[in-house]
Amino acid sequence: MAGTETHYTLPRPGFDQPPRLLIVVAPYYRDIADALMAGARAEIEAAGGSHDTVEVPGALEVPTAIGQAFRMANFDGFVALGCVIRGETTHYDTVCNDSSRAITLLGLQGACIGNGILTVENRAQAEARAEPGGQNKGGGAAAAALHLIALARRWGNSRRPVGFNKPESEAFRIAGTDKGPVA
């Protein structure tokens, strides 16, 4: 049982320049979301960072909002917050798996994300995990994002694309023109 075990927690990273994070929260269960946000905000502020918060309708929309902000805004990292409680249908599995998978894919593209979307069997489990004085999963998600930001800064914060790219010296040519090599 996880409640009786102790876990190692990495020391909070330090920053020369304060990090700026976006907290994206799905407040479907408002009290749970509020507790998660309180933990996340406290952790970010303890590290000297600042944060903005946006709300989205549900856990499936959290990664979409993070993806938009990653491409269009200037945040160092992101904290994904929400809660999915198992119901009577397979919708639970879809929401849990797809939101987690999308967050992972964004992380592999370079977004520094702490995933604090709770996936639980019942409300009591959610409350225990969300409470800042308890398991503080919101604070843990913020801490994860802060650690990833510290790594990105250590490694130069490059935003190189992932995948195969043409050498920069090659330009593509529009069919029927003589402007450069054919792509």
Q: Is 51 a catalytic residue?
A: no
The reported pTM is 0.84
Total domains present in the chain: 1
Active-site option among 7, 51, 91, 147: 91
Q: Position of tokens 């995933």? A: 115
- The model's confidence at residue 3, banded by pLDDT at 50, 70 and 90, is low
The per-residue pLDDT for range 69-106, each reduced to its tens digit, is 999 999 999 999 999 999 999 999 999 999 999 999 99
165 within some domain:
no
Query: Which amino acid appears at position 97 of this protein?
Result: N
SS (H, E, C) 81-128: EEEEECCCCCHHHHHHHHHHHHHHHHHHCCCCEEEEEEEECCHHHHHH
Domain that holds residue 94: 19-154
7 within some domain:
no
Q: Of 10, 27, 7, 20, give the one whose Cα is nearest residue 126.
A: 27
